[in-house]
Every structure is written in C-alpha cells, then in structure tokens.
Amino acid sequence: MHSLQKITPCLWFNDRAEEAAEYYVGIFRNAKLCEISRYPEAGKEHHGHEAGSVMTVAVELDGQRFTLMNGGPQFQFSPAVSFQINCESQDEIDYFWERLAEGGAPEAQECGWLADKFGVSWQVVPTILTSMIVDPDPEKCGRVMAALLDMKKLDIAGLKKAYAGP
C-alpha cells in the first residue's frame, strides 16, 4: 500500500478516467498506474454508475500522485486549474507539448498553456523562466513577459534573447 501524500489532486472525468490514466502514464517517463477502484452496487441511487464500473484510478506522474475519478457529466475542466511541468531543456518542452497538445484544443494554446484531449490544462514551462521574471531589473522582466505573451509553446532561446535585450 502506498503511503498517501498530504494533498492529492483529484480530477473529475465523466467516464474516461481509466483512458486518461493510461494516456498520462504513457507520456510521463517516470509514471505508473497504482490502483483502480470500482463502483459497488451499494449507493447506486446516489452515484448512478453500474456496479463494477471504474470509480477511481490512482496514478503517479514523476512522483506526484493523482486520483482520476469517473464522477459523471456534471463538471468540466477549466483553465482556472492547471498543472505545471517544469522543463530543463527545449527538447523536454517539445516532448511534453507535442504529446499533451495532441487531440487537445488549439485555441487553448497560449503562453506555455495548453488543454489536452480530456480538457485538462497544463503549463509546459522552462525552469529558467522563474529567475527571469523575478529579476530585479524591470526592463528585463518586461521584455521576457512581452516575448512570453507572443508565444504558444515556450521557446527558451527566444526568452533568453528577450532577457538579454538589445
């Protein structure tokens, strides 16, 4: 049995939690499917799911545990909640961007954010970005922010060029 982390994000799906779990485990290199729970007959008048159908799937993605739940159609994902993937290189940014953006909403791609095919929002960002946007020089920060706002997928070379200035 896995020792539980203090806070575990729970993502509400209609009926695709198991599909989403397999999808994410296939993208993240250090990932695993942990447990699957199934709806019981008890409480069917409340949960409305067939006994034996998937209720939750626990996954671990790069050390972060998530619960994916088949709750029903009542709730949808929103960009108001997203998951940041901190990337060390442009190759890593490209890897996650290409895989998570596939089948997602192209109109939701901006400033390093994207929505995957399930509607879950991700921010694929270079680790170097934080030091650039907290730099005490407001001109450097402003140039980086202006460059970032013009990008869909973040480009480390472009951000570094903006940071360095003219």
- Please report the DSSP string for 10-26 in residue order: EEEESS-HHHHHHHHHH
In whole angstroms, what is the distance from residue 65 CA to residue 84 CA? Answer: 14
In whole angstroms, what is the distance from residue 56 CA to residue 35 CA? Answer: 8
Tens digits of per-residue pLDDT, 47-98? 888 899 999 999 999 999 999 999 999 999 999 999 999 999 999 999 999 9
In whole angstroms, what is the distance from residue 153 CA to residue 115 CA? Answer: 12
CA 22 to chain centre: 14
Query: Does domain 10-70 fall into CATH 3.30.2350.10?
Result: no
pLDDT at res. 70: 96
Same fold? 10-70, 82-164? no
In sequence order, the β-bridge partners of residue 56 are 37, 69
pLDDT at res. 43: 79
Tens digits of per-residue pLDDT, 35-50? 999 999 887 878 888 8
pLDDT at res. 46: 82
**In the predicted model, is pLDDT for residue 100 greater than 70?**
yes
Tens digits of per-residue pLDDT, 103-161? 999 998 999 999 999 999 999 999 999 999 999 999 999 999 999 999 999 999 999 99
Q: Which CATH class is domain 82-164?
A: alpha beta
For 100, half-sphere exposure in the C-beta direction (CA atoms, 13 angstrom radius) is: 27
Per-domain boundaries in the chain: 10-70, 82-164
Is the model's pTM score more than 0.85?
yes
pLDDT at res. 47: 82
pLDDT at res. 2: 56
Tens digits of per-residue pLDDT, 1-25? 556 789 999 999 999 999 999 999 9
pLDDT at res. 4: 73
